[in-house]
């Protein structure tokens, strides 16, 4: 039997070529509860920052998806999406945080001076759409074969070439 292989010829755990070695770093958060606790810390951290009411609208924190990703120690927002793929529990934690952000931005629509930012967030991340319905009920009648409608030449023409007879 070769070094680093089991009795069936497969690489053993810990071997560089083993199927057990998926590469990459171990996950930052071992449990979904640990991740949820860290997100709660992020919200408390944002609330602790002293910002004028004009910036936050309510005197509370300014919560963002990228701000949370940074606080959690991720390098990108897509790393949060990767956490969602780990299990249903992790997915639930991230989805609830995104739902919280949607709720918070819905509330911001009522705060003075924050409409445009909240509107942008809701359309791009909150699942809202801006739709317009245009009613185009038009009735078009065409009478083919009847001689009661004169051609442009018979009516004197409506362009210079029609009037000059060219």
In tens, the pLDDT along 62-78 reads: 888 889 999 999 988 88
Instruction: Kindly list the distances between the CA atom of residue 116 and the CA atoms of 52, 66, 109, in Å, as whole numbers in the listed order.
Output: 19, 19, 8
* pLDDT, tens digit, 9 for 90 and up, residues 110-133: 776 677 777 887 888 778 888 878
Residue 5 bridge partners (DSSP) = 11
Instruction: Please report, rounded to a whole number, the percentage of residues in the chain having pLDDT higher than 90.
Output: 21
R_g over Cα of the chain: 32
> In sequence order, what are the beta bridge partners of 11?
5
Name the DSSP letter for residue 28.
S
Distance CA 60, CA 57 (A): 8
DSSP 31: S
Task: Mark out the alpha helices in 13-87 (DSSP H runs).
Answer: 32-48, 53-56, 65-72, 77-84
Q: What is the mean pLDDT of the chain?
A: 76
Task: Pull the structure tokens for residue 59.
Answer: 């005197």
């Amino acid at each position: 039997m070769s070094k680093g292989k089991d009795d069936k010829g497969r690489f053993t755990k810990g071997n560089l070529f083993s199927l057990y070695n998926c590469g990459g770093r171990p996950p930052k958060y071992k449990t979904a509860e640990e991740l949820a606790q860290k997100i709660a810390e992020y919200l408390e951290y944002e609330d602790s920052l002293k910002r004028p009411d004009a910036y936050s609208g309510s005197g509370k924190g300014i919560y963002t998806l990228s701000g949370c990703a940074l606080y959690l120690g991720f390098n990108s927002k897509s790393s949060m999406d990767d956490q969602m793929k780990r299990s249903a529990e992790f997915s639930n934690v991230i989805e609830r945080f995104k739902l919280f952000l949607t709720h918070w931005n819905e509330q911001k629509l009522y705060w003075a001076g924050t409409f445009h930012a909240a509107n942008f967030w809701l359309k791009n991340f909150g699942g809202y759409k801006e739709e317009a319905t245009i009613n185009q009920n038009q009735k078009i009648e065409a009478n083919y074969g009847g001689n009661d409608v004169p051609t442009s030449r018979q009516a004197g023409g409506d362009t210079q070439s029609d009037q000059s007879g060219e």
